[in-house]
Amino acid sequence: WETYDIDGHDLDAVNDAISSAKASKNGKPKFIKCNTIIGKGMEETEGTNAAHGEAGVPYVDNAKANIGLPVDEKWYVSEGTRDFFKGVQEANSAKKAEWDATY
């Protein structure tokens, strides 16, 4: 195995590990271990299972502010993410229509 052990909160490290794994042609399977902290940014429940479920709900707005996300948007999706996926639904619908036509 070719393994990578990285900080899963560091998006540059994640990207670098993926790029390195793709570029490596040694024939070994690749494994990327992303170390993360459950509830990171939600000080009241960070590092505990309380970060998931109702126990963390009262702290969500503060957590969003801590990591720079807009507090007033319940489900924030960045423009970069929207741009990345733009046209995917249309392309997949066209492929499905082609497949459906074969039956």
Element (H, E) at 31: strand 30-35
Average pLDDT on 17-30 reads 97
pLDDT digits (tens, 9 = 90+) for 43-52: 888 899 888 8
Q: Which two tokens stand for residue 102?
A: 């074969």
If we measure between CA atoms, which residue out of 54, 49, 48, 39 comes closest to residue 9?
Answer: 39
Whole-model pTM: value is: 0.62
